[in-house]
Chains A and B, each alone.
Chain A
């Protein structure tokens, strides 16, 4: 469903700030794969997601989503295939627009937007039902401005928006990192629910090792712009935090000891 073929990206090439963010990275996801991504700060996790979503073009290599070559597509064109949730709850929704307006915009992801009415009555009923399934009481607040919602509610809404029109690929960039632990858990449960219901192919970055172990069917660890560990199926189910930290220090040559703390949060 996703095929990353030998991509590389260097920021500020030829300057004192030159930074090789991705080097010959390859990754292939099958349909329905739910992959969690861990790694220290600067390992290239977010860079990989941004390369897929098209924030900028890669220097080398190709990216395919469902056999469609998206390497040279602009960000808004790729959005047709990709649903995204960001770390910052403010980023994924339009604060001054109503809940139903945000959902209506998301329902038309990748479609042409003409002079038809922005939200039909029938849609409202669908949104009501979908919001009801989230169990947050948002279904009674369809005409509330999103800016009035809490961070957790906004992330839940963003998740629904990313999946309301089934994407070929769902990208979650530490989407629970800015939430308090109990809200983060709710949003993660909701993530599982939506991913399972729709059988979504998903890439989820997390700083929380336990979450990375508990969710999904495959786990990859990144360091210095490459994948240093790739575990799936039974083997992944039996992973422990301790093992991952040990493995991390081994594979990254212990260069980033401080990050072990961060990772084991």
Chain B
């Protein structure tokens, strides 16, 4: 039934999931906005993170440690894409698709060849769970803040600056003696590490990992980044700090998922959601390009 109280009841859960997608979008932000390439590994590495976390928890590993293990495994998937791209000279998009494709089998192996594995919150100690949404929101916010602070610090270091220069102008980076291949591999690694960690959070939140849980992650991440940019461009006409930019990605994730909750509340067929998302992301990605054309540049 479409009642307002029903929507109010559902929204907090949407916010909690939005936070997790927002954290994942931070990982995509590193490749998409900092390195200026589209990394399609994420659809696979998100699932990898979920699978690794749930399997660790089933094996009795502490849920926070399980997330850290997912983070490291995620870095490895990113490094694989980075090396295929830089050493074998395969375009980044294709390298990502190849790794993502291969990860499907690896993810199944991680989950002992079953399409989904669950960790019952009654029996296992989970960091966050949909059983306790306020707690999930609180922890989601804390993890977001930690990510934003660490990323802000990292991209201010010598190495982080070198990665930014590589993405901004690889010619200039080369002329300054920056090993742009290595910088890309590091960027892909960190990005996918964060994506996998978010996958682990999602696995804990919903209480299971599913072989298809990462499908469309790249599009959701792009949606979060773009929605966040629209918001900050609206509020800060004269540009803003890197802190604000990173925060906007998280907020973009929340807005995206809250919108999904509303659409579902309106009883729109959930099978059409992907089409809506694809159309919205296409429009927002196109707007800057069309504006430039109009300006005659």
Contacts and interface: CB of A to CB of B under 8 A. Distances in A.
Interface string A99-116: 001101110111101111
A118 B161 contact: yes
Contacts of A101: 161, 164
Given A76-B174, A79-B174, A86-B171, A97 B165 contact: yes
Contacts of A114: 157-159
> How big is the B interface, by class?
20 to 34
A91 B169 contact: yes
A151 interface: no
A105 B178 contact: yes
B176 A105 contact: yes
B232 to A, nearest CB: 15
Given A76-B180, A118-B156, A105 B161 contact: yes
A118 B158 contact: yes
Given A91-B169, A91-B171, A105 B162 contact: yes
A117 interface: yes
A84 B177 CA distance: 11
A30 interface: no
A110 B178 CA distance: 7
Interface string B176-205: 111110000000000000000000000000
Given A91-B172, A115-B157, A117-B156, A97 B164 contact: yes
Contacts of B179: 76
B161 A104 contact: yes
B184 to A, nearest CB: 12
Given A108-B158, A113-B162, A114-B159, A79 B176 contact: yes
B158 A113 contact: yes
Contact of A116 (B157, B165, B173, B177): B157
A178 interface: no
A92 interface: yes
B171 A77 contact: no
Nearest to A106: B176
Contacts of B165: 94, 97, 105
A94 B168 contact: yes
Contacts of A192: none
A113 B168 CA distance: 17
B175 interface: yes
A102 to B, nearest CB: 8
A117 B178 CA distance: 17
B158 A115 contact: yes
In the complex, which of the residues A77, A79, A111 has the most CB atoms of chain B within 10 Å of its own CB atom? A79
A95 interface: yes
Contacts of A86: 171, 175
A31 interface: no
A143 B179 CA distance: 25
A193 B173 CA distance: 25
Given A113-B159, A113-B161, 17 more contacts: A90-B169, A92-B171, A92-B172, A94-B172, A95-B168, A97-B164, A97-B165, A104-B158, A105-B172, A105-B173, A108-B158, A110-B177, A111-B177, A115-B154, A115-B158, A118-B157, A118-B161
- State the 5 A-B residue pairs at the shortest beta-carbon distance, nearest first: A79-B177, A113-B158, A110-B177, A94-B168, A118-B161
Interface of B: 154, 156-162, 164-165, 168-169, 171-180
21 contacts: A53-B175, A76-B179, A90-B169, A94-B164, A94-B168, A95-B168, A95-B169, A96-B168, A97-B164, A101-B161, A101-B164, A104-B161, A106-B176, A108-B176, A110-B177, A111-B177, A113-B159, A114-B157, A114-B159, A117-B157, A162-B175
